[in-house]
Structure 1
Amino acid sequence: MRLEQAQHRAGDAAPSTRPLKAETAFVDPQLERLFTQSLRRQLENLLQAVPLDEQQEQLREQMETLASTLLQDGQADHQQLVDLFAETASQLFRVYRQSELGEAQDTRQFFTRTGCVMAVKDAVHTCKDIYRVRAFIRGIDQAIRAQSTQGSAQPLHVLYPACGPFAPLLLPLIRHYKAQPQAGLRPLRITLIDIQEGAVQVLHNLIRDLDIEDYIEDVLCMDVMDYRPAQPVDLLVLEAMQRGFSREGHLSMARHLSRFLAADALMIPERIRVRAFLNEGQAEFVDQWQDAGYTHSSKVKPEAAATRVELGAILDLTLDSLRQLKEIQLGQGASVLECGRVQLPKDQPDLSHKLMLYCVEATTFGQEGVREYDSGISHPLPDTAVCIDFRPRAAEPDDLLLKSGDHIQFYYKLTGQPGFMPTWA
């Protein structure tokens, strides 16, 4: 983020007097502390040569406990979830450590034609994103049950691309099904895909330790954009995005894979809504989280929400709307998708001190979902290239200079660095 613009829009009187503080992390700090304590216990077990079969049994029991707790109608409170996820993460990290990845397998991060690919050493931490995992586990379970009531006894082909080393949005549920067979559910044929060789190596070991091989049709190490299934996909589970629907290739992957879905297929999340709003950086990212400890939609303060200027939805993505997005081809093989259009309010004097922000909210299935600040993927993302009612002293080539009352047309870049591109309209 460019310091001058960030500080100007935060409302500082002088650019050098008060830089913005770091944002509160989406992972509860207490979870990190408990996770470290649990890792120490795991290390002690390794040093004491705990038999592999005993370690595997501990992992299976923990994953079963995680899934069954998340599926209960009566929601566990936040502290119970923190304790549960800390212990689960430590069990998963045992599998990761024992996989003994080489440095290149573990640390390589790179860009493909559709976006950034996270290093395995970073991807393993996504299993600690409490409310993201919860929303997907509950949503996927409901989707599988919905598809099992359609009268077909044929196996349900579930595809989970860009799944990472732990496939955390699905495998706890599959272990739960293994431990407690569910009457009336269609048989599952699961295909897992990840482009990282190290992630696939860990994934094979995890599937073995969970004893769920009979559910897994295939584990593929490949670029999702090259995947073409032999049989139609009945349930697509896809989450390859970062805050503000940026950096990763979720949208490109979804468009590619939608061609291979069965006529009655479901996509999880079934809806992703991105909206744009304006707010002062200090109010949005600092003041309201001073005493929060962790971020969550329930902790958004009314005072911070009151200073926002809502602009509206710029992308509402469902399986139907995905297939109707208008693509515009540009030079050098690049293209963009046409998204929403909004108008800046007129005659509002404080817009020059506000950031443009993009916020993602995802409905996994039914009433289950991730709201703003519930997860790392739903933290608002500032766009510091948008300058409203002011001209920066040191302009950048990509600055978009706007004034109150202007209309903004949003496009989505389908490049190696995907994200929204606002333009004057």
Structure 2
Amino acid sequence: MTARLARVLFDATEQAPPVPPAEDMWRRGRRRRRRRRTAAALACLLTVAAALVWAPQRSRTSLQFAGTGATVLPSSVAEPHLWQRTLDGDPNGPVKLAFTTGHSLNLETALVLVGADDGYRLDYTEMGLEPAVLSPDGRWLLDRNLRDLVTGQTRDLDRSLTGYVPAVWAPDSRTAVGVIMPDGGATGYGPDGEELDGPDDEAVLVDAASGGVRTIGTFPDATRWQAAFSPDGDTIAMHALGAGTESVLTIVDTDSPDPPRTVTVSERQRLAGPAAWTPDGAQILLAAAEGCAWGAQCAGQTWHLQRIDVATGTVTDETTRGRRGTPSVVAWRDGEPIAQLTRDDRSCETVALTPTGTRTLPLTAAGIGCADYARDLLEEGTLGGPGIEPSMWEAQWWAYALVVVLLAPLPLIARRIWRRKRSRDQNPVGHDGHSP
């Protein structure tokens, strides 16, 4: 090596930064490695959470229930999870059925909608609203206004429904009949405490396509009102039960200027339900109480069916007696009326009314009272399919965010535990308290 080269190397050595001690370099390397591992763990958690939130759902094609034979009503339906997705956030229509549950975050009742894909959605409604009713094709939900279960949009009616009793849909799901109570169902009293007659309650026809509302009749009191459409949807039988007195069953042709026809019924007779009209359009079913008047709450109440001939008004009784439970005929299947029987304990059973009694159908649902099945499925679908339960992954966004927050510290905790274990393994302590 020449003297000049030696001099250059010496000068470079003098100008170079000092090399840190080996112990400092090792500490910096471990710190950098921990940061990379922590960042990778957090990135994995966020990726998993994002995948759960935006995971593609099972196909929810717009099904035409009637006549397909492909859509199945389950034999049982379980309660939803508290964190279940909501109808407003992610609609799942058309739906198979709806039922009311008290298993909700706001400690109030909520409506559970089970879609064609067996997915669950919760609908939190305002307190005091009238019960919502599902259209026969599972597309619409009608309470005060009309909601599209496929798009999730609400269609305001020309006049909002305000009745205590659910509206009733026509078999084709194009129209429904409901009630508007001008005074809200309140009773007015005079200066001497006498009860005042308020304005009559209105029966109105709702058009699903336009949201239009048209008055078709009035009742003095519609708090115990019922209705049923004829099979073609052009005629409606309406009945407002009296309080222990005779009442009138009114038959209205919605497209005719002719005055409505009326049939007087006793306090022990009432319209059998929203599907009380027979499939041939010739008769209307009545539920005839055998123990006491409807609403009198006598123990062991039983009933049987009666048929009113629409043309003549003649009433005939069936031979079967002694059926129990409060009935509501909701569909027809294979020529037999399908009824939901409500018990005193608020339990519900769906049965076929046979000439000799009842036949229980393989349909049960959790919740409060009777489930509201899409009528098209009750009449044409397959009954008694496998029971379904809600998916725990169909959750609202905040549930995923909560999981991420709870799981985020786990990689750091695991890393710290691992470091302490490795440190103990590398520096064992002897019996005298000192490392060997």
TM over 0.5: no
Which TM bucket (shorter chain)? under 0.3
Q: TM-score, normalised by structure 2?
A: 0.26
Task: Point out the structure with the larger helix share.
Answer: 1
Richer in strand (by share): 2
